[in-house]
Amino acid sequence: MKKLVILFTLILFIISCGDKTREEITERYPNGDKLLLVKYKGEGGDEIVVERIGYSQSGDTILWENYSDGLKNGIWKSSDSTGLYIDGKKDGKWTWYNKDGSVKEVVEYPTQRI
């Protein structure tokens, strides 16, 4: 009986912690492969974008953007830059790359974290 109560509690915890998240492929390559995947949280008019992931034709991730409360937040990666956003502002070290992958420029932005 004790194991059943623990299992039931665990299942309720998992169900209650999950926000409704929806994924949608918003752009495709001409051959049908996904180009851009957007993740949404919430429902109806309260739905907001929380993540955008772009893919190359070979399936590699070439773009990764994170959002929180409508602001850029978290790690951002693209084929030409990587960095961190905090509350919509660039934070800390950002690196820009040349087309061959070599470092073009590194900029240190003021930290937004307290």
pLDDT at 24: 95
Q: Which of 74, 98, 8 is nearest to 53 (CA)?
A: 74
Predicted TM-score (pTM) of this structure: 0.71
The pLDDT of residue 87 is above 50: yes
CA geometry: angle 108, 83, 24, nearest 5 deg: 160
For 42: left if phi > 0, alpha if psi spans -120 to 50, otherwise beta; the answer is left
Q: Which of 72, 70, 96, 101 is nearest to 84 (CA)?
A: 72
- The tens digit of pLDDT for each residue in 25-74 reads 999 999 999 999 999 998 888 899 999 999 999 999 999 999 998 899 99
Burial of 38 (0-12, 13-18, 19+ CB in 10 A): middle
